[in-house]
Amino acid sequence: MGLLGSIFTWWNGATIGTALWTRRHGEEVGRDENGNIYYRHRKDPGRRWVIYSGSNDASRTPPGWSSWLRGQIEDVPSKSLPPRRPFEKDGKENLTGTDDAYRPAGSLSRGGKRAAATGDYQAWTPE
């Protein structure tokens, strides 16, 4: 993203104003596996925020860091939470609007054909 884009757009990372404010008032606390950087305010540790390494989408925040951002845990997730269990899956970002979005049978993007059912629908006919 160019200089002009970083001045005026907020949806693809931090604007210049946010970056300057973060540099002045923020203290880096950690980074996640997606490259997002987490900060807290130097004078008010209850104020916490994240600078995303790409599109600004809260669904790209892992559950542990999401808990930290909301103040549900005091310390960073690696110190506060138990180790990850083998059956836990990786989080996914919001897929709405992409080719990988969930489209149930009968949706317009899958042909709009509803599966035949018995007894749950009676067509109205005018008299």
- Residue ranges of the alpha helices (H) in 1-127? 3-8, 16-25, 63-69, 77-80
Rounded distance between C-alpha atoms, residue 70 and residue 20, angstroms? 23
pLDDT band at 65 (very low <50, low <70, confident <90, very high): very high
**What's at 37, amino acid-wise?**
I
User: Is 0.85 topped by the overall pTM?
Assistant: no
pLDDT band at 34 (very low <50, low <70, confident <90, very high): confident
- Residue 6 confidence (pLDDT): 59
- Residue 36 confidence (pLDDT): 92
pLDDT band at 10 (very low <50, low <70, confident <90, very high): low
**When comparing pLDDT for 93 and 14, which is higher?**
93
Q: What are the domain boundaries of the chain?
A: 3-84
Q: 38, 91, 40, 86: which is closest to 63 by C-alpha?
A: 91
Average pLDDT over residues 19-34: 88
Q: 55, 64, 63: which is closest to 95 by C-alpha?
A: 55
Rounded distance between C-alpha atoms, residue 71 and residue 77, angstroms? 11
Residue 1 has pLDDT above 60, yes or no: no
pLDDT cut 70: percent of the chain above it: 86
Rounded distance between C-alpha atoms, residue 84 and residue 62, angstroms? 12
Q: 50, 55, 106, 62: which is closest to 88 by C-alpha?
A: 62
